[in-house]
Structure 1
Amino acid sequence: MTSNFGVLTLGDAMITMNPSATGPLRFVPGFERKAGGAELNFAIGCARLGLRMKWISRLGKDEFGRFIDNFARGEGIDMSDVRLVEGYPTSINFKEIREDGSGKTFYYRHNSPILTIEPEDIKESMFEDIDIVHLSGVYLAIDPRNILIAKRVIEVAKGKGSKVSFDPNIRLKLWTIEEARKAYFDLFPSVDILLTGRDEIQLILEDDREEALETFAEKYDINQLVIKDGEKGSKLYTNGLWFEKEAFPIVPIDTVGAGDGFDAGYIYALLNDYSSEERLTFANGIGAMVTTVSGDNEGLPYLEEALSFVHREAVIER
C-alpha cells in the first residue's frame, strides 16, 4: 500500500557485480549482475516501505541501462524523470566482500550518463506533492558541476515547501576530503536532516565530540543531526536534546547498502510521526536487515517485514 507521503531523490545508478566468493577480488572466479548505487538503494528502500518514490536520473541507452530501468520500475519507483541516453555507458562497480561481511567497491563510472543532467532539466513540476528531497554525497562526488544541479534541486524543493535530507556518503575514491568538505559546507545551510556515519562526520569536522556536533548543528540550523554508528547503534541531536538507540544484534553478511536502508527507514519514520527514539529504532532495524542479505538492496524489507523484525526487540505502536 502506497502512503500519501512523497519522497524524491536525484543520483546515479550502477550495475553491481556481486562476487561469487568472499576474499580479495583477484581470487574471485565469478560475479552476479545486480542493480545498485546509493540513491537507487535509498529509492528502493522507500518504495518498499510504501512511500511514493520519485527518482531523477540518467542511464546509458544500453542493455545495462535497460536492466536498471526495468528493475526500478518493478520496484514501484516513479521513473518519469529518468532518461536513457546515447553515448554514455551505464556505470559499473565490482564488490569485494570479506569473511566478516566488510567489503570494498571498485568503480568504473567514467563518463557517467548522470553527467548529461543540466540545471534547466530540474523543473518545478517534478516536486509536486513531494514532502522530502533526499540527496547523497555520491552524486556530488561524480563531477564538480553536479553541485550546481544539487543547489538547483534544493532551491526548487525549498520553494515548494519540501524538507531536504542529506547523506554525505563520502567516496574518497571519487574525490578528496578537501573537495568533499567544500561541497558539503556549501549545502549544509539548506539541510534540514543530516544522516551521516560517525566516521564521516569525524572526517568532515575533524571532531566527533557531542559538543562539536551540537555547535555544528546549531550554526548551520540543521534541525535533525543523525549519527549512524554501525554495531554501536545510532543517535540523534534535535531541539537541543540527544537521543540514542542501540543496534540490533545480528551477524552481518554484507554491509553494503546498510546506510542507505537506514536513511530510508529514518525518512519513513519521520514522515509517519514516529518519536525521536522510535525513528532511530526503526532505522536501526532496516539497516540491520540489509546486512543479513548479500547484495546492495536485496535485504531492504517491505513495511510488514520491517515492523515484524523491529517488534521482536522493541515495541513501536502504530
Structure 2
Amino acid sequence: MIDVASFGEPMVEFCATDVGRIKDVYIFRRGWGGDTSNFIVAVARLGVKAGYICRIGNDEFGKSFLELWHNEGIDVSQVIIEEGGFTAVYFISLLPGGGHDFTYYRKNSAASHFSPSDLNPDYLSGIKVFHSSGISMAISESCRETVFKAVEIVKANGGIFSFDVNFRPKLWPPQIAKPYIEKIMVKADLIFMSKEDASLLYGDTETDKIIKRIYSFAKPKVFVIKMGGEGCLILNDKEKIDVPSFKVNVVDTTGAGDAFDGAFIVGLLEGKALEEIGIFANAVGALTTTALGAVAPIPRRRDVEDFLRSFKP
C-alpha cells in the first residue's frame, strides 16, 4: 500500500559544473528534477512508501527516470509511457552573485498530456496523502483538470491533499494563475508557500500580510510559509510557530523546497509535533543545498538524524 503519491512533471536536469550564465558554460552534469518528482524522492529516502503519477516519453530520459524511481523504491504503476512523447529537460547554472540561470525544453512534453481519464481512482482512494503543485497545474489545462479530479477522489476517501503553490510566472502570469491556485488552495489540507511565491503572485512580502491574504479565502489545517535561509513559519488553528533555519555551506538551492515539503509530510504522518516537523524539514532542506543538483543531495533518514545530532538551528 502506498502512503504518499504526487503528480506532476519530471524533468531531466543538466547542471553546469562551472559558475556563469548558461551561454558561457560548457560542461553540464545530467541529473533529475521536477518539483513533484523531487518531493517524492525525498519522501522515499526518508522511509515512507511512495508513488509517482505522470506521463513520460518513451525516450532515454524517460527510461532514466524509471531507473531512478525504481532504485529509490518508488511505485511507478501509475507512470504512463507515451509513445512518441518526450520527457522534459532543463539546463541550469549558478550565477556569480547567487541565483540561477535556467533554460527549459518542456512545451508539449509527455507530462503535459496527462488527463483526468489517466487517473486510477482505486489507487488514489487508498493513499494517505496526495501532493501536487502550482507548476503541475501550469503546464496544461488537462493537468489542471487532473489535479482537481485527483483531489476530489482523495478527499472523498479520507485522504490528505498537500499543495505547494510553486508559482512560476514564466509558465502562467498572475492574472491567469491566481483563480486556479486560489480555487485549489480552498481544497488543500496543507499549503506550502514561499515568500517569493507570495511576492510574485500578490505583491506581499511581509508574513502577516501573507497569512491574512491566504486565510481570507482558504482554511488549511496547516499553512507553511517557507523563508529559505530564514527558516519557516508554521500555522494551524492553535499555533503559530517560527522555526529558524540551519546554517550550512550552501552550494545549490535547487530542489531544497521540494525536499522540505517531502520531509514535512513524512513528519506529519509520523505524528510529530509541528515544531519538531519544522526542525526536521528545515534539516532536510538545508542538507539538500550542500551539493549540486536537485536530487543527488536529498538526504536519507540516517543523514538527517546524524545532522540533527550535530547541529542546532
Which of 119, 123, 133 aligns to 2:130? It is 133
Give the alignment's Cα RMSD to 1 decimal. 1.7
Partner of 1:117: 114
Q: May I ask how many residue pairs the two structures share in their alignment?
A: 312
Letter in 1 for 2:260: F
Which of 153, 158, 183 aligns to 1:156? It is 153
Contact 1:101 1:254 in 2 (8 A): no
Question: Matches of 2:111 and 2:213 in 1, distance apart?
Answer: 35
Output aligned runs, 1:1-318, within 5 Å: 6-99=3-96, 102-207=99-204, 208-210=206-208, 213-214=211-212, 216-217=214-215, 219-314=217-312
Contact 1:103 1:255 in 2 (8 A): no
Most deviating of 23-32 and 210-219 = 210-219
Contact 1:262 1:284 in 2 (8 A): yes
Q: How far has the Cα of 1:294 moved from its partner?
A: 0.5
SS of residue paired to 2:20: coil
Letter in 1 for 2:77: S
Letter in 2 for 1:282: F
Most deviating of 238-247 and 76-85 = 238-247
Contact 2:15 2:29 in 1 (8 A): yes
Question: Structure 1: 5+ residue runs without aligned partners?
Answer: none
Most deviating of 194-203 and 277-286 = 194-203
Question: Matches of 1:268 and 1:297 in 2, distance apart?
Answer: 17
Q: How far has the Cα of 1:240 moved from its partner?
A: 4.0
- Taking a change above 3 Å as real, the CA distance of residues 202 and 241 of structure 1, as seen in their structure-2 partners, is farther
Contact 2:167 2:201 in 1 (8 A): no
Deviations 1:248-271 (A, max 9, x none): 011210010010011011111111
- Taking a change above 3 Å as real, the CA distance of residues 182 and 128 of structure 1, as seen in their structure-2 partners, is closer
Letter in 1 for 2:135: V
Contact 1:101 1:255 in 2 (8 A): no
Q: How far has the Cα of 1:99 moved from its partner?
A: 3.9
Deviations 1:82-129 (A, max 9, x none): 021112111110001124652132110021101332212212211243
SS of residue paired to 2:141: coil
Q: How far has the Cα of 1:314 moved from its partner?
A: 4.3
- Taking a change above 3 Å as real, the CA distance of residues 216 and 36 of structure 1, as seen in their structure-2 partners, is closer
